[in-house]
Amino acid sequence: MAGVSVQAFRRQGRRFGAGLVCSEMVSCAGLHHGSERTLGYLRLASDERPLAVQIFGSEPALMAEAAVLVEAAGADIVDINFGCPVRKVTKTGAGAMLLEDAERACRIVDAVASAVEVPVSVKLRRGLENGSRACLDVGPRLVDAGASSLTLHPRSARQMYSGRADHALTAELVERVAVPVVASGDVTSRAEAERVLETTGAAAVMVGRAAQGNPWVLREVLLGGDEQPSAAEVAAELVHFVRETARELGERRATGFLKKFYGWYLGRGRFPKPFAQELVRLGSTEAVAARLLAAAPGADELAGRLEDEAAARGATDTTLELPVSAYGGG
């Protein structure tokens, strides 16, 4: 998820039980041109693994070049984005636009699969327009071109995130390919995950937006139960996330980046609504952390425990054997 799935988010997902986490989508053009910010997306750490790194673009040669860098950085899977509906991506012929250009999509998958030893997966939407069934035509051809698995979010690009994901389409795709299919879209509880798996035959489910500010949903999907986190647990988890993000992105970038997360964490009736806006107005990440710890008795001890556990896992050590002179603050 662009603008969300930073390293701190991925590490958190692994701690809460996710079997696989995925990076933000990475521009193959940015990697080709040596963009420092784009290369920074390839800061990978051992405690994130298994990890997929998602790349996007429309030129097979550049996508293959990007895949080689991704593999060298330590990714366990190279994931190709053929699903992004955002205009600034689709106008370049990338993302969901490739569902309408099956020949080019297949050339991209073939080029990437031929360039790397790790598995190649592809993320799809149903197509560009509402009611499209393009994924059912393109999906099997991508497998023939070298895709080891497919992930389907059965909304159209036009839908963005409105309406409901049509998992009847996921079931049809499962029947048409001989590789694992991951079901994505509207998986917000264990009951929904079980329903999707049972009705589609998918190999796994992917949780995305439901985990924004709510990593506890991952535990609920895996184990069941509806126990909600305490105020201290929420505050401690957010403090840890804030501090990890500041180490990763640097203080200046992190201060702005984190603002959307405050509402995600503190909503759902967990804290009074004005509290998130109070945090947004604070000028530093440590000021945010201090305010959170003051607001929830017991959070200080829990946050300290999270830091100690991260240190014990070696979570502060990243591996990046790439030509990046300086990136962020971590």
Options 22, 84, 106, 135, the catalytic residue: 84
Identify any residues that bridge with 44 across adjacent strands, giving them in sequence order: 319
- Whether residue 53 contacts residue 70, with contact meaning beta carbons closer than 8 Å, is answered with yes
Q: What is the C-alpha to C-alpha distance for residues 268 and 260, in angstroms, rounded to an integer?
A: 14
Work out the number of other CB atoms within 10 angstroms of the CB of residue 328: 21
Which residues are CB-contacts of 221 (< 8 A; sequence separation ≥ 6)? 187, 189, 190, 193, 205, 207
Q: What is the C-alpha to C-alpha distance for residues 109 and 121, in angstroms, rounded to an integer?
A: 9
3-state secondary structure of 148: coil
Token pair 């029947």 is at which residue? 175
Which residues are CB-contacts of 72 (< 8 A; sequence separation ≥ 6)? 321, 322
- Backbone φ and ψ for 74, nearest 5 degrees, come out as 115, 10
Q: What is the C-alpha to C-alpha distance for residues 219 and 275, in angstroms, rounded to an integer?
A: 26
- Backbone φ and ψ for 60, nearest 5 degrees, come out as -55, -45
Q: CA angle, corner 285, sides to 8 and 210, nearest 5?
A: 40
- Residue 22 among the catalytic residues: no
Catalytic sites, residue numbers: 84
